[in-house]
Chains A and B, each alone.
Chain A
């Protein structure tokens, strides 16, 4: 009898909640009486986050002519939402350092995840959707449930991967057969234990079943398609061997014209390596 999803999350105590620095940051950001200086103070306490923030604001994406050298200066360049998302990405990458390497190469896993995030952002930009960074985070975290299974139930994870290879099925189908649930459900449970907004868990939980979405349909369709794009563009690997089934309904829901795909691919190519460097450099 495989462990329940709740057991998986409870079993690894260090993933049950997000790190203190992230929680303090959210607290400061939500406090109407706090200022940018307070946000800066929290970030400065964490060397990893400081380094990543400076790398982000000095990247080609912002294109500032002179180097930005302090957290305070950096905070004037990026918005609160982006700081939040960067802190979340940093926290999550650091949390899953102990995943067994024999099941998945973590650098490759994050390259797939970051690729999916960048594809999600590019698709959302093509739609002229507000707050495209939100889509980046949903894409980044879409496979997070796999890591929980790898860490808490490595035997089950291995059995599912082997079955997907032997039967040439998609991993989430093999997971359902072996474990009774898939990584999307585990990911959703983890994100809800982290108290992340529902607009983030729904796309993660439905990224293989976008037609089931009754709310956040755009967010769900974006992450679903971004996953297909990231696979097609050979960005990293998350233990899934095949390109996931593209859902025609999700594509129609977005309404992006087919001749805009080349634009999306070009945007992704332009942003991908910088995004990988910003998030991964200190953790590899």
Chain B
């Protein structure tokens, strides 16, 4: 598995690479299990993400819990229609399409 955003990292996850701050100062070594205190420290030092071990499913589940609205097929279809001029195979487009569908599902946040 790979890079998690700091907000998604939880105590007990195992680091697969060293965590350093912007100046290259070592904050935690690869192989360590994350602690609550370390996560706070990373936040203070501006660390954006950490590499942790684990399977993709667990990661996916974590990301899904962060989303509040259920995306129904009609929301996804409406979003795909808006993206008709974009290459849906491009990874950034795929991410933005999902974000768009989520907003449509959420009642069109900012849609005024």
User: What residues make up the interface of A, taking CB atoms closer than 8 Å to B?
Assistant: 107-108, 111, 115, 168, 170, 228-229, 231-236, 241-246, 248, 251, 258-263, 265, 272
Contacts and interface: CB of A to CB of B under 8 A. Distances in A.
Given A170-B85, A233-B110, A234-B108, A243 B100 contact: yes
B96 interface: yes
Contacts of B35: none
A234 B105 CA distance: 12
B5 to A, nearest CB: 6
Given A235-B110, A242-B85, A263 B100 contact: no
A259 B49 contact: yes
A111 B96 contact: no
B104 interface: yes
**A interface majority secondary structure:** helix
A245 B108 CA distance: 21
Interface residues of B, number: 26
B83 A260 contact: no
Contacts of A229: 96
Given A251-B92, A263-B48, A245 B86 contact: yes
Contacts of B97: 232
Given A236-B110, A272-B110, A265 B99 contact: yes
Interface in B74-108: 82-87, 90-93, 95-97, 99-100, 103-104, 108
9 closest pairs, A vs B, by CB? A232-B96, A234-B111, A232-B100, A235-B110, A245-B85, A234-B103, A243-B83, A242-B85, A243-B82
B106 to A, nearest CB: 10
A233 B92 contact: no
Given A233-B100, A234-B104, A243-B83, A261 B5 contact: no
B23 interface: no
Contacts of A232: 83, 96-97, 99-100
Contacts of B3: 259
